[in-house]
Amino acid sequence: MTTFMLTDTTAGKISAQFMHLRHQMGAPAIGMVLTLVVVSEERHQYDALRAATEAAREHPSRIIVVIKREEDEPIRLDAELRIGENTPGEVVVLRLYGELTEHADSVVSPLLLPDTPVVAWWPGAAPDVPSKDAIGALAQRRITDAKGFDDGGVKSLVIRAKGYARGDTDLAWARLTPWRSLLAAAFDQPVGKVRKGVVEAAPGHPSAPLLAAWLSERLGVSMKVAESAGPGLTAVRLQLGDGELAVVRTDARLAKLSRPGQPDRNVALARRQTSELMAEELRRLDTDEIYETAVKRFARTYKG
């Protein structure tokens, strides 16, 4: 892998350097399927870039990391470029200083790959309405992570749910994919009418009310959220006419599925890394209509 540093530079010089490095290494820009723009604080950038790079092994990308630094310093743009065999695509880490922090889109726009989709990801703090943010407006898909917020996540998810626009999603939803798949499979056999239900999770876990909203929408019943000792989501219990259908997570890899009249059985329900969540989100670049339905119901009904 080749790393190249540019200090007090411009977007034009960065693009020229990428072309030079590709020519030098014989590595043309073909094969990259999207541009992933990661808007991160300095404290999150290492983990975010590692997750983005891992996800890019499935979706070769130009990864642009935007870090806004001190606003009271003179205008300056520093860049770190990475390209090579160990990097699936291209990486540029941008550090913006001074008034440039308010115009990140003017730096990012010339660096977007032509004729490919753009995805924006905020691994920590994110705008209240991502679609109206200057970086968000450049993207077809906008990914936030309510779990990455200092306030515990649910409050932040409420704000973004109320400002939802098509193309938005949150990793709190991606974390639910194994739960939703398992619950859907539990209904492959007739289980009777669901009367009500509860989702149990650690206090403030943002995925819990989203899962409750999805189940309420799909089953047409009242779903509550109850606190548990955690960590994360711990159980879903659905009250049936003849008993309870329950998925109870027993550890970080397994859960117990219980249904009336059938023996309990252990099922796989592993916690997933951020890189796996991002890879899942990058598989689709259109609007996730199931998430749209769930998050709109969540926005209407959440009373926390």
- pLDDT of 96 > 70? The answer is yes
pLDDT in tens, 12-23: 999 998 888 777
Confidence at residue 28, expressed as pLDDT on a 0 to 100 scale: 53
Average pLDDT of the chain to the nearest whole number: 90
Percentage of residues of the chain with pLDDT beyond 70 = 95
Confidence at residue 103, expressed as pLDDT on a 0 to 100 scale: 94
- pLDDT of 1 > 80? The answer is no
State pTM to two decimals. Answer: 0.92
pLDDT in tens, 273-303: 999 999 999 998 899 999 999 999 998 888 7
pLDDT in tens, 138-179: 999 999 998 876 555 788 888 889 999 999 999 999 999 999
Q: How far apart are CA 36 and CA 289, in angstroms?
A: 21
Q: Which residues contact 160 (CB under 8 A, 6 or more apart)?
A: 126, 128, 129, 130, 144, 146, 168, 170
pLDDT in tens, 65-87: 999 999 889 999 999 998 866 66
- The C-alpha angle 115, 117, 120, rounded to 5 degrees, equals 140
- pLDDT of 29 > 70? The answer is no
Confidence at residue 280, expressed as pLDDT on a 0 to 100 scale: 96
Coil, strand or helix at 1: coil
Confidence at residue 149, expressed as pLDDT on a 0 to 100 scale: 62
